[in-house]
Amino acid sequence: MTEGATESPEAGATEEVDMLREKIARLEERVRSLDQLAHQDPLLHLPNRRGFLRELKSLIARVTRYGESAAMLFVDIDGLKRINDSYGHKAGDDALVHVATLLSGGIRQSDCVARLGGDEFGILLAHADSESAHETAGRLADLIGRSESSCDGNSLPLGVAIGLTMIGKDDTPDAVIARADTAMYREKSAA
């Protein structure tokens, strides 16, 4: 612009709209980033408990509305405290990553694995009847039982207890998780 010339109101408004669009885009990206932090486990890059509850609510809604068959598996790693106490938390973290990788690789892409906390995982199996859910639980337990994590050349055998519950019409997330947790403790006691 030459000296003495003034900017037209339209040009100023366009510039301000562009600045506002950029600011909105930055804020939307920040919201996406915060949502990811709130719903994802930072170590395993899986949904955390909050993310799992969101997925479970959605699955319950589909079961209720469309009559889909679905199940939840509650997975508890055996001996993680012993690994942490004997080899340190880095070895425990490595064991968690190893199990998470096996669980994620052992289910369909449409299913969901999440870390519920500590050494506990939740798995949602959509379009799964009782027979296929039991088969999946058994296969995952065998897969993990046959694998080993390692730390500084030490082999760390792993095992899991897996509880299973079917998701019913009009179920609640708390009821589903409680049933699966109870089933997992029954499996642990039977072992």
Tokens of 69: 């068959």
The two most distant CA atoms of the chain are separated, in Å, by 88
Name 125's bridge partners: 71
Alpha helices in the chain (DSSP H): 9-39, 49-66, 80-87, 89-105, 130-146, 173-190
Q: What is the C-alpha separation between 73 and 134, in angstroms, rounded?
A: 9
Contact present, 184 and 74 (Cβ < 8 Å): yes
State the pLDDT confidence band at 33, using cuts at 50, 70 and 90. Answer: low
Query: Tens of pLDDT along 91-145?
Result: 999 999 999 999 999 999 999 999 999 999 999 999 999 999 999 999 999 999 9
Give mean pLDDT, residues 56-78. 96
**Paired tokens of 179:** 């049933």
Instruction: Return the CATH number of the domain spanning residue range 49-190.
Output: 3.30.70.270
The phi and psi torsions of 91 (rounded to 5 degrees) equal -65, -40
State percent of the chain over pLDDT 70: 91
What pTM was estimated for this model as a whole? Answer: 0.81
Catalytic residues: 119
CB 176, CB 123: distance < 8 Å: no
Residues 161, 76 contacting (CB under 8 angstroms): yes
pLDDT level of residue 37 (50, 70, 90 thresholds): low
Chain segment 149-184, per-residue pLDDT in tens: 877 887 888 899 999 999 999 999 999 999 999 999
Residue 146: predicted pLDDT: 93
